[in-house]
Amino acid sequence: MASAFTLSDLPRTEAEALAYGRHGDPFKVLGPRDTSTGRVIRAFLPGANGVEVLRRSDRQTIGKLDPAQPDGFFEGIVGDRAAYLLRIRWPGAVQETEDPYSFGPVLGDLDLHLFNEGRHFGMAKVLGANAMTVQGVPGVAFAVWAPNAARVAVVGDFNSWDSRRHPMRLRYPAGVWELFIPRVSPGARYKFDIVGAGGVPVPQKADPLAKQTEPPPATASVVASPQPFDWHDGEWMAKRAGRQRPDAPIAIYEVHAGSWMRACHTWDDMADRLVPYAVDMGFSHLELLPVTEHPFGGSWGYQPLSLFAPTARFGSPEGFARFVDRAHAAGLGIILDWVPAHFPTDAHGLARFDGTALYEHLDPREGFHRDWNTFIYNFGRREVQGFLIASALHWLEHFHVDGLRVDAVASMLYRDYSRAAGDWIPNIYGGREHLEAIDFLRHLNAVVQERHAGAVVIAEESTAWPGVTQPVSELGLGFSYKWNMGWMHDTLHYMARDPIYRSYHHDGLTFGLIYAFSERFILPLSHDEVVYGKGSLLGRMPGDRWQKFANLRAYFGFMWGHPGKKLLFMGGEIAQEREWNHDGEIDWFLLDDVSHAGTQRLVRDLNGLYRREPALHRRDASGEGFRWVIGDDRSNSVFAFLRLGGEGDPPILVVCNMTPAPRHHYRIGVPRPGYWREIANTDSRFYGGSDIGNDGGAATTGDAAHGEPQSLDLTLPPLATIMLRAEG
C-alpha cells in the first residue's frame, strides 16, 4: 500500500502525465539527480511492492526508494553517487537491474545529422533495436523516428507490454526517440507505443527498422542477435562481379519460397533441396519473391512492412544467412525482389506512423495506390530516401545477397501511373515524371555501385523510359539490368496463336530485336505470367497435347537463343499444367510423364549450352552479337539468326520453325564454310519430340543464300528450334 508521500519537487501534472503514459520527457522526471541534500533517485515502476538501490560494483545497499503518489512512483536519497542497480520487489519475484534513466544518449550527433540528411546508410546499426553493451552493462538500445509524436514508449515482453514503463527520450530536432534498456536480451518481442500530437493515441507500431519479427499473423518485432554470421563465401564474393557482368551467362530461376516444395519449411530445408536443384538445372542465380517480412502471405511478399527483416515464416535471420552462404558455396547467386514503391495500410505498420503521414504523402493523389490499396513512399523526404537505401544496403551487406530486383519501377516513375485525368498532381514543371522518385532511384544505384561494385540492381520497368540501364553519370537511372517486359508480352501473344495464323503476326517474334540492345535486358517469363487467370505457360500454347509441349519447347529454344539474360519462374521448367497457386507447390508428380520430364531435361540442357557457348552470352547486350539471317519468311513462320561471340568464338545459328509442318531442304546462308554441328534440337526424342533433325549437323555447299557465299541444306523439325555451331 503506497503512502501518501508526494514527490518532493515534481508538479502533480507531470507525475500524472507519466503515470497515464502521456509524458514526452521522461528523463526530466526519472532517474538520478543531484540536489543540495544528496543524490535523489526517482523511478516509476507500476505494480512494484518496493525498491532498494544497490551499488553496482559490490551490490551493497546504498538507499531505499519510498513509494509515492500516484501509484507506481518511488523516490529516495542514496548514500553515494556511484553507478547503481535497482532491486525491485514484484509480486512473486525480485528483479535486479540497472535504471534505464541513469544512462545518457546512445545516438551521436553525427548519426542524427546523417539520418536527417538521408545519408545514414548504416541506419540498421543505430535505429530499431540493437543489442549492445553500455558502460559495461548489456542491454538493447531502441531508437525510432517519430518527429510529430508527443510521446513514444517501448513495450514488450520485458515490461509486460505496459506503455507506462519505458517512455523514450526525444532527440530534438532530429525527431528520433531513443532509450537504452538494460538486461533486455535478443529474442525479446517489442513494439513502439506512440501518442500523437495533441494527445491522440496511435495504434502500437512494429519497428520500421526491425531486423527480426515474429511469424505472421503475429505482428511484434523481435530483438535480433548481434552476433555476426560466420561467412564462408569469401571466394564467391571476390569473383562475383565477373559472374554478373553483361558478358556473363546469367540464367535466373525465380522462386516463391513458400510454394516451391511444401516439404521445405525452413531456410535450411531450402538449402538442402532448392539450392542443389537449381544448380543441377544449370541456373546461375535464384531470384526470390520478396522475403522482407509481410503481413499477408497472399501478397507473395509484395506488400512488405519490415524492409530489414527476412520473413519469420522460414526461420531466423541466421537461417536465411546460412541459406545464402550455402548457395554461394554451390556456385549460385541470390537475387531478392525488393519493394520500395509502396507499403500496405496495416495499422501496426508504417501508415500514419506517428499520427501523421510520415513515410507516405498525405494527399492521396500522390500517396495512395488505388490498384493495390497501398501507400506510396514520400520519395522527396530525405529521411525516407535514406531509410529505403539503408534497407537495400542491409541486404547486400548483412546477408551478402548478390542483387536486388526493384519491383514496380514504372509506378514510381510516373505521377499519373494508373490514374485518371485530374487524379494526379503534376511535377514542378507541369509534367508527369515523378522527379523525386527518379532522384531516389539514381541515388540508390549510385550508392550501391559505390559501396558494392559487382552487386546488381534490376528494374522491373514496363514502359519505354529511356536510359534505365545507362549510368547515372550519363543521366540514366543507373540500373544493372532491366526486365524486357515488351519482349515477354509480344512473344507470348505470338506463341498463344494457332500456327495457321502466325504468319499474320510474324512481328511478334521479330519486333523485340529492334530495341534489344537499347538497354541491358533480362528476358522474363516470371510469376506474373502464370497468375490471375492467365493459366500456365503450357496452357497458353495452342494445339493438341503434343503440339502444346512442342510449342513450349520451341519457345524455350527461341528464348535461350535470343539476346538477353534469362529468367524462368518455378514450374515452367517442368511444363506445369496448372496456374501457380501460392498455397500449393509445384506439381512434381508430373515428372513421371515423359513430356514433362523431357521439358525439364531441355531447360537443363539449354542452361548448359548457354553457359558453355560464348556466342550465346558474351554479347547479350551488344548488337554485334546478333545478326538476322531470315527474319521475313512469314509464309513458313521460320526465323533464323546468328549469335556471335568474341573473336575466335564459333558462331551459332538459331533456326525456329513455328508451324507443325517439318521443312525439308530448307536452305540458309551462313558466314563460315565447313561443318555446322547441331548442338540443340527441341524436337529431340530426349525431350519428348518426334526426333526429326539433321543427323548431328550439316556441311555447307557452295550455293549462295541470304547474302552469304555458302549455305546449309537443313531439315527443320515441326514446332521446334534448332541450334548449329560452326566447327573448325
Q: Which residues are catalytic?
A: 407, 460
Q: Measure CA 131 to chain center.
A: 25
Who contacts 559 (Cβ-Cβ below 8 Å, separation ≥6)?
491, 523, 525, 566
Q: HEC string of 449-472? A: HHHCECEEEEECCCCCCCCCCCCH
Question: What is residue 22's DSSP assignment?
Answer: -
Category of 633 on φ-ψ map: left (φ > 0), alpha (ψ -120 to 50) or beta: beta
> How many whole angstroms separate alpha carbon 423 and alpha carbon 409?
20
Question: What is residue 367's DSSP assignment?
Answer: H
Residue in 277, 276, 280, 298 with CA at minimum distance from that of residue 289: 298
Who contacts 159 (Cβ-Cβ below 8 Å, separation ≥6)?
165, 166
What grid cell was written down for 672?
563460315
> How many whole angstroms separate alpha carbon 277 and alpha carbon 270?
10
> How many whole angstroms separate alpha carbon 73 and alpha carbon 18?
10
Who contacts 542 (Cβ-Cβ below 8 Å, separation ≥6)?
496, 497, 498, 499, 548, 551
Identity of residue 439: D
Alpha carbons within 13 A on the beta-carbon side of 386: 19
Q: In terms of C-beta density within 10 A (0-12 exposed, 13-18 middle, 19 or more buried), how is residue 347 classed?
A: exposed
> How many whole angstroms separate alpha carbon 22 and alpha carbon 44?
13
> How many whole angstroms separate alpha carbon 352 and alpha carbon 356?
5
710 sits in which H/E element: strand 710-716
> How many whole angstroms separate alpha carbon 45 and alpha carbon 164?
9
Q: Which SS3 state, helix, strand or coil, does residue 50 take?
A: strand
Q: Identify each DSSP E strand in 357-420 by its residue range.
A: 368-369, 374-376, 403-406
Q: In terms of C-beta density within 10 A (0-12 exposed, 13-18 middle, 19 or more buried), how is residue 102 classed?
A: buried
